Amino acid sequence: MDSSFGILDAFAFVVFAVLITVAVVAIVNLGRLPGRLAWKWGHPQASAINVASWIGMATGGLLWPLALIWAFITPSASKASPFESDRHGQGVTEIDVATREQTPARKIPAHEETRP
């Protein structure tokens, strides 16, 4: 029995390493997809969607489709309450909302007004 390491063995090793690398990159990108979509679209539960996605990937893809669907669904209750969170997941307080409401609108100078 010959136990030498030939050129075909090296080629097979390289092909196998490339396949494993491509599989890992694909799994990581699929795991990030629902969380990134939810974050990009300002979903109020983007962090939970991200966690559900990674747990779904760890369990063999069981929860991943649910996380992907969840990323596309915006709960209607989140629009009713401005105090839950803003787009970046940081809490919005009543003081922040009151400050935004009291900020006067910028007056347009006469030379910038557009007239028909």
User: For 58-74, what is each residue's pLDDT tens digit?
Assistant: 998 888 999 999 999 87
Taking phi over 0 as left and psi of -120 to 50 as alpha, with beta for the rest, 81 belongs to beta
Please give the pLDDT value at position 111: 63
The model carries a pTM of 0.56
Higher local confidence (pLDDT), 80 or 103: 103
- The two structure tokens encoding residue 104: 């006067």
At 39, the amino acid letter reads W
- Which DSSP symbol is given to 59? T
pLDDT digits (tens, 9 = 90+) for 9-58: 999 999 999 999 999 999 999 999 999 999 998 899 999 999 999 999 99
By the 8 A CB rule, do 84 and 78 touch? yes
